[in-house]
């Protein structure tokens, strides 16, 4: 029988099925961070049990960490305690930890792929909704709550009902200045913030095939923003080439054997999906959000729609129906987060701003996703480009994506941000987030107002 890629991976991981109930799904990789794991460890300790398969668990503190002076003790007491708790728990349970000063430290969804911990065909979970990022490698990767983190600690399994399947096909060539972030913002604007709820998405078509692995990660990362549990892309030569030689990937002949197995990971040609959506790549422009959920997105050169029910969001954002976002002055841009903090994002930004200066009103935060990305920025001479342009390069972490650490956008200010959520207060109390691609954010920094990057490239 014809199967989807999702079905193939799922079925290989079913340990048992409860009659009239969920499947017991085996989990290959479990990423943890400091915010959603402490209560799960406490649960284990209360029961007097240890992590069942610690070698499958990988930890990195990312949400709460400062992005300057990481060699010093964390100033904020509660943040420091949470990060210390992670270290303590990992030591007690034998879990691999990439601590704050480790050479491989970074945002969990950035370091998993770059270290080759993430591999095709795996099931991957993390107490974080952006776990879908790893789907770019042809994995079933999804976010879970802390009780579920505890379940995976206990048994390396989760009780899960199989979701429905949706395929989103984008064929054709993306226009100049249009990148993977625009593609996913466009898809979410079409489907709405809840349009993917109950589904697991497969992204298919030439637009995704033509994307680099890093660009694919940006797409899969935001699957949750339309409510989907996750999103995946069938692995191909680009995937195998990306993973080859990475730290946690088998080497030599063993690697070749893995690749042979990974080549079986695709949806059969006549596999049936519960829902299909087709998009022409040529129709996708650079995108912006204007509201308080990621589904409220528009082309950069279009007016704010202001549909019924959006009044509260527009009031929060200080925007009016029919107003243009283009040329609107903004004072903050943020390039970072698990969505857009990989080396290709910084290369693209550097190419755009090389030899130019940010506008005087702009504060531009650039926050690499990992220590490795930070080193690449230095090795490739990009730091000088950013500093010459007046951009501020910080140290790895989730930073201004979620207003949990010191990096926040002040009350009432707009921030053109490459992160994944524009919820009320997401980047700090009463901050106003406009989601966009790294190119749009960088172009905006140069002009001090929202800019259509197509006019610069």
Which parts of 411-450 interact with other proteins (CB under 8 A)?
Answer: 411, 421, 423-426, 429-430
Answer for which of 9, 32, 35, 124 binds other proteins (CB under 8 A) is: 35
Q: For the CA atoms of 354, 355, 360, 364, what is the dihedral angle to 10 degrees? A: 20
Joined together, the tokens standing for residue 424 give 């009320």
Number of residues interacting with other proteins: please give it, by CB under 8 A.
71
Q: Does 150 bind other proteins (CB under 8 A)?
A: yes
Tokens, residue 355: 């030899």
- Does position 180 interact with other proteins (CB under 8 A)? The reply is no
Does position 47 bind other proteins by CB under 8 A? yes
Identify the CA nearest to 68 among candidates 400, 377, 343, 338: 400
Give the DSSP H or E segment for 9: helix 5-12
Q: Which stretch binds other proteins (CB under 8 A): 158-166, 177-185, 365-373, 443-451?
A: 158-166
What is the C-alpha to C-alpha distance for residues 159 and 421, in angstroms, rounded to an integer?
A: 28
Q: Are 9 and 121 spatial neighbours (Cβ–Cβ below 8 Å)? A: yes
Q: Which is nearer to other proteins, 12 or 320 (CB)?
A: 12
Least Å distance, CB 86 to other proteins, is: 9
Distances (CA, A) of 332 to 296, 337, 408, 418: 20, 15, 10, 12
Instruction: List Cβ neighbours of 454 (8 Å cut-off, separation of 6 or more).
Output: 175, 176, 177, 285, 286
Segment near other proteins (CB under 8 A); pick from 91-99, 126-134, 344-352, 437-445: 126-134
Smaller CB separation from other proteins, 47 or 320: 47
Q: How far is the CB of 159 from other proteins (least distance, A)?
A: 5
Contact flags string 260-299 toward other proteins, x per CB under 8 A: --------------------------------xx------
Between 185 and 362, CB nearer to other proteins: 185
Distance CA 449, CA 339 (A): 23
Beta-bridge partner residues of 413: none
> In this structure, how many other beta carbons lie within 10 angstroms of the beta carbon of residue 278?
11
Query: Nearer to other proteins by C-beta: 175 or 192?
Result: 192
Subset of 56-75 contacting other proteins (CB under 8 A): 63-64
Q: Which of residues 359-398 bind other proteins (CB under 8 A)?
A: none
Of residues 10, 26, 137, 332, which one binds other proteins by CB under 8 A? Answer: 26
Q: What is the pattern of x (binds other proteins, CB under 8 A) and - over residues 79-98?
A: x-xx--x-------------
CB of 14 to other proteins, least distance (A): 9
Least distance CB 451 / other proteins (angstroms): 28
Instruction: Check: CB of residue 108 under 8 Å from CB of residue 60.
Output: yes
Report the distance separating Cα 48 and Cα 204, nearest Å.
46
Binding-site member from 112, 113, 163, 299 for other proteins (CB under 8 A): 163
On whether the CB atoms of residues 310 and 422 are closer than 8 A, the answer is no
């Amino acid at each position: 029988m014809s199967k989807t890629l999702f079905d193939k991976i799922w079925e290989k991981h079913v340990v048992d099925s409860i009659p009239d109930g969920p499947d017991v799904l085996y989990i290959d990789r479990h990423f943890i961070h400091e915010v959603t794991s402490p209560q799960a460890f406490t649960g284990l300790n209360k029961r007097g049990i240890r992590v069942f398969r610690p070698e499958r668990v990988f930890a990195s503190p990312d949400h709460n960490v400062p992005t300057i002076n990481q060699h010093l003790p964390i100033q904020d007491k509660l943040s420091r305690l949470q990060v210390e708790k992670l270290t303590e728990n990992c030591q007690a349970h034998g879990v691999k930890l990439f601590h704050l000063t480790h050479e491989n430290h970074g945002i969990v969804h950035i370091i998993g792929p770059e270290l080759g911990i993430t591999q095709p065909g795996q099931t991957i979970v993390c107490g974080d909704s952006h776990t879908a990022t790893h789907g770019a490698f042809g994995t079933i990767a999804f976010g879970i709550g802390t009780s579920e983190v505890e379940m995976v600690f206990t048994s390396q399994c989760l009780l899960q009902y199989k979701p429905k399947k949706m395929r989103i096909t984008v064929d054709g060539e993306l226009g100049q200045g249009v990148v993977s972030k625009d593609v996913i913002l466009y898809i979410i604007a079409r489907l709405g913030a809840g349009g993917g709820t109950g589904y697991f998405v497969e992204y298919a078509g030439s637009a995704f095939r033509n994307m680099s692995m890093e660009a694919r990660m940006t797409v899969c990362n935001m699957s949750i923003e339309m409510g989907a549990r996750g999103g995946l892309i069938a692995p191909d030569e680009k995937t195998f080439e990306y993973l080859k030689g990475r730290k946690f990937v088998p080497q030599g002949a063993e690697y070749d054997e893995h690749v042979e197995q990974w080549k079986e990971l695709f949806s059969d040609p006549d596999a049936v999906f519960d829902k299909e959506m087709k998009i022409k790549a040529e129709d996708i422009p650079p995108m912006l959000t204007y509201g308080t959920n990621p589904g409220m997105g528009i082309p950069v050169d279009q007016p704010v729609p202001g549909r019924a029910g959006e009044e509260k969001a527009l009031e929060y954002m200080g925007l009016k129906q029919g107003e243009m976002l283009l040329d609107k002055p903004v004072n903050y841009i943020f390039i970072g987060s698990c969505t857009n903090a990989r080396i290709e994002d910084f290369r693209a930004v550097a190419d755009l701003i090389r030899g130019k200066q940010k506008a005087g009103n702009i504060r531009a935060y650039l926050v690499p996703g990992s220590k490795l990305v930070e080193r690449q920025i230095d090795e490739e001479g990009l730091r000088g480009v950013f500093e010459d342009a007046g951009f501020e390069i910080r140290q790895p972490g989730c930073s201004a994506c979620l207003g949990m650490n010191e990096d926040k956008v002040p009350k009432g200010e707009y921030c053109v941000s490459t992160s994944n959520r524009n919820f009320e207060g997401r980047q700090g109390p009463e901050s106003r987030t406009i989601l966009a691609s790294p190119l749009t954010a960088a172009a905006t920094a140069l002009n001090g107002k929202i800019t259509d990057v197509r006019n610069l490239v």
